[in-house]
Amino acid sequence: MSRQRTEPVFNRVEGLRLECGLTRQQLADAVGVHYQTIGYLERGEYSPSLLLALRIAEVLKREVGEIFSITPFDQNEERKKSDE
């Protein structure tokens, strides 16, 4: 068997969490994980399960595709949104 390289999952968790005024601990409590898991997600060191991604989307009041992607988010677009 060959080991397949895991594809990265890009996310906007940190920015959206901060927009909602939530700490890592608050988001973690709301979705039922340890606060360090949120940190790992935000740094791209961990890819969430589908269930966790759905829970995060629900708490952040966003669609999953607005938070997680298999392609990098456009940084210029992110800056424009944060300036509005």
Domain harbouring 42, CATH code: 1.10.260.40
- Measured between alpha carbons, how far is 31 from 3 in angstroms, rounded to an integer? 31
Number of structural domains in the chain = 1
Q: Answer for the pair 9, 69: CB distance below 8 angstroms, yes or no.
A: yes
Q: Would you say residue 58 lies in a domain?
A: yes
pLDDT recorded at residue 46: 92
- Per-residue pLDDT of 6-32, as tens digits, reads 788 999 999 999 999 999 999 999 999
* Helix or strand (DSSP H, E) at 53: helix 50-60
CA angle 13-33-44, nearest 5°? 35
In a domain, 78, yes or no: no
Phi/psi at 10 (nearest 5 deg)? -85, 150
Residue 80 lies in a domain: no
pLDDT at 8: 86
Whether the per-residue pLDDT at 80 is higher than 50: the answer is: no
Contact present, 47 and 57 (Cβ < 8 Å): no
Indicate the pTM of the whole model. 0.81
